[in-house]
């Protein structure tokens, strides 16, 4: 096992001046809600938007001159692709990144923008990974693995050095876990500096391969399922990483898709931080009470912020509906001038914000003289929603809630 505190300290020197030392924020909101003293290590503020640059740069800078001349190859749907592309370009090395044809165009464009040659192949990651390995054998370029490489792990472990330098009183570090590279590096560094510190992994419950492997004491492969936390949706943990997980990781907990979505929403609204599903998984676990560290100092690693804007918009809309801050209801009104205005005035008077209004004039339960009007309204709280709809009912209208 080559990964140790010395190799991680060396990695810290290697990446200095290239990789950003990301901020650590104390969250009074999360601390109040969870009973722990919660700090957020914001790797979503890292260059390229995720922690992956740390490991990629450390791996590539350690290549021999002959290896550098042959270039590097990687396969990734997003964060690792961008990290390798950025690192290779900074070092003046050719990089070829294989990405699935289904990868978001924004991530493809970003990877090209960092200087890589992007080859899109296959519908899913496994297909593009196999193609990348085939081309690597033909070209003899160096394959930069996203997690199952000790030099990559050493780069990721520099996160722990930064945490314990700034917050030596840390009792636990909560880390997203997929293939195991990030948590391995963090765990080795943290345990070497502070042996009693807890290292807790978080993984989507629908594809918890690392948790299943740790519980069985051997590597387990699960069927591929796409989670909202796609960055840690890994069918099989790395065999090298798994040796460190067994030795240094105290526990792995899982979070549901709903919990991940709420973690993303909570960070946006209360923390003013944009995170992808994997990055928000640690906060999701805290909010869902999956981790009990009452009164302890806990650092949650926000591993990345590269979330698709369209997905983020859907999550926000969905969460507003679930907590009844966006409500949809229909009102049956007489189809005559001024009736719609009366209802809108009632909504506005009670502080509601009209998002959408759609009038169906084709037919109503009472005949052609009536119409159903569907409203979508934003409110400040569930209590305000009930008050608003009750006020409309009190004016004699038939109100039907469409969804909550």
> Among 140-144, 180-184, 232-236, where is mean pLDDT lowest?
232-236
Chain-centre distance of CA 82, in angstroms?
16
**pTM for the full predicted model:** 0.88
CA distance 18 to 6: 20
CA distance 157 to 162: 9
Given a cut of 90, whether residue 362 has pLDDT beyond it is no
Strands 24-26 and 370-378: unpaired
**What proportion of the chain, given as a percentage, has pLDDT over 70?**
97
> Among 34-43, 110-119, 333-342, where is mean pLDDT lowest?
333-342
Q: How is residue 243 written in tokens? A: 């040796």
Q: How confident is the model at residue 404 (pLDDT cuts 50, 70, 90)?
A: very low
Bin 154: left if φ > 0, else alpha if -120 < ψ < 50, else beta. alpha
Closest CA to 382 of 354, 350, 404: 404
pLDDT at residue 370 in the model? 80
Q: What are phi and psi of 228, to 5 degrees?
A: -60, -30
For residue 402, give the H/E element and its range.
strand 398-403
Enumerate the β-bridge partners of residue 373: 331, 359
> Among 82-91, 115-124, 181-190, where is mean pLDDT lowest?
115-124
CA distance 299 to 61: 29
pLDDT at residue 125 in the model? 75
Q: How is residue 147 written in tokens? A: 């997690």
CA distance 100 to 120: 5
Strands 297-302 and 37-42: parallel
pLDDT, tens digit, 9 for 90 and up, residues 370-387: 888 888 888 888 888 888
Given a cut of 90, whether residue 251 has pLDDT beyond it is yes
Quick one: three-class SS letters along 218-260? CCCCCCCCCCCCHHHCCCCCCHHHHHHHHHHCCEEEEECHHHH
Strands of 310-388 (E only): list them.
Answer: 326-334, 353-360, 370-378
pLDDT at residue 364 in the model? 55
For residue 297, give the H/E element and its range.
strand 297-302
Q: How many residues does the chain have?
A: 404
pLDDT, tens digit, 9 for 90 and up, residues 81-91: 999 999 999 99
Q: How is residue 311 written in tokens? A: 């997905």
Q: Identify whether the C-beta of residue 332 lies closer than 8 Å to the C-beta of residue 395.
A: no
pLDDT, tens digit, 9 for 90 and up, residues 125-158: 778 888 999 999 999 999 999 999 999 999 999 9
pLDDT at residue 211 in the model? 96
- Catalogue the active-site residues: 52, 303
Closest CA to 151 of 73, 236, 60, 243: 60
Strands 353-360 and 297-302: unpaired
Chain-centre distance of CA 106, in angstroms?
16
Answer with the residue of higher pLDDT: 7 or 308: 7
Going by the DSSP 8-state scheme, the letter that residue 141 receives in this structure is P
pLDDT at residue 329 in the model? 87
CA distance 319 to 331: 24
User: What average pLDDT does range 165-182 have in this prediction?
Assistant: 97
Residue 254 neighbours by CB under 8 Å, 6+ apart: 202, 203, 204, 205, 208, 211, 290
Answer with the residue of higher pLDDT: 256 or 354: 256
**What proportion of the chain, given as a percentage, has pLDDT over 90?**
69
Q: Identify whether the C-beta of residue 176 lies closer than 8 Å to the C-beta of residue 283.
A: no
Residue carrying structure tokens 């709809």:
389
């Amino acid at each position: 096992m080559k990964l140790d505190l010395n190799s991680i300290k060396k990695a810290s020197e290697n990446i200095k001046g290239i990789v950003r030392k990301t901020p650590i924020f104390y969250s009074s909101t999360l601390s109040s809600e969870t009973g722990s003293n919660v700090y957020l290590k914001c790797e979503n503020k890292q260059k390229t938007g995720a922690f992956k640059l740390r490991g990629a740069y450390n791996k590539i800078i350690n290549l021999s001159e002959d290896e550098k001349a042959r270039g590097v190859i990687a396969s990734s749907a997003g964060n690792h692709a961008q990290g390798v592309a950025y690192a290779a370009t900074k070092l003046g090395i050719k990089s070829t990144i294989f990405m699935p044809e289904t990868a978001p165009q924004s991530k493809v464009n970003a990877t090209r923008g960092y200087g890589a040659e992007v080859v899109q192949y296959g519908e899913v990651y496994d297909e593009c990974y196999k193609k990348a390995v085939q081309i690597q054998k033909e070209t003899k370029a160096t394959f930069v693995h996203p997690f199952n490489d000790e030099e990559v792990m050493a780069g990721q472990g520099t996160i722990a050095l930064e945490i314990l330098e700034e917050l030596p009183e840390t009792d636990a570090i909560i880390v997203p876990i997929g293939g195991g590279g990030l948590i391995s590096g963090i765990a080795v560094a943290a345990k070497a500096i502070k042996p009693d510190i807890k290292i807790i992994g978080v993984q989507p419950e629908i594809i918890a391969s690392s948790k299943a492997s740790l519980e069985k004491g051997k590597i387990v492969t699960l069927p591929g399922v796409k989670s909202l936390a796609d960055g840690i949706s890994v069918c099989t943990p790395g065999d090298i990483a798994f040796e460190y997980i067994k030795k240094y990781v105290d526990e792995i907990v899982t979070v549901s898709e709903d919990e991940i979505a709420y973690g993303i929403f909570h960070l946006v609204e209360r923390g003013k931080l944009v995170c992808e599903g994997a990055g928000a998984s640690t906060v999701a676990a805290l909010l869902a009470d999956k981790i009990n560290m009452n009164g302890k100092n806990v650092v949650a690693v926000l591993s990345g912020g590269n979330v698709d804007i369209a997905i983020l918009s859907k999550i926000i809309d969905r969460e507003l509906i679930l907590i009844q801050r966006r409500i949809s209801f229909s009102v049956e009104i007489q189809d005559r001038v001024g009736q719609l205005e009366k209802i809108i005035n009632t909504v506005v008077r009670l502080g509601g914000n009209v998002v959408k209004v759609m009038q169906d004039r084709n037919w109503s339960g009472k005949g052609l003289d009536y119409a159903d009007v569907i409203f979508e309204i934003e409110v400040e709280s569930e209590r305000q929603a009930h008050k608003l709809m009750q006020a409309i009912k009190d004016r004699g209208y038939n109100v039907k809630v469409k969804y909550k």
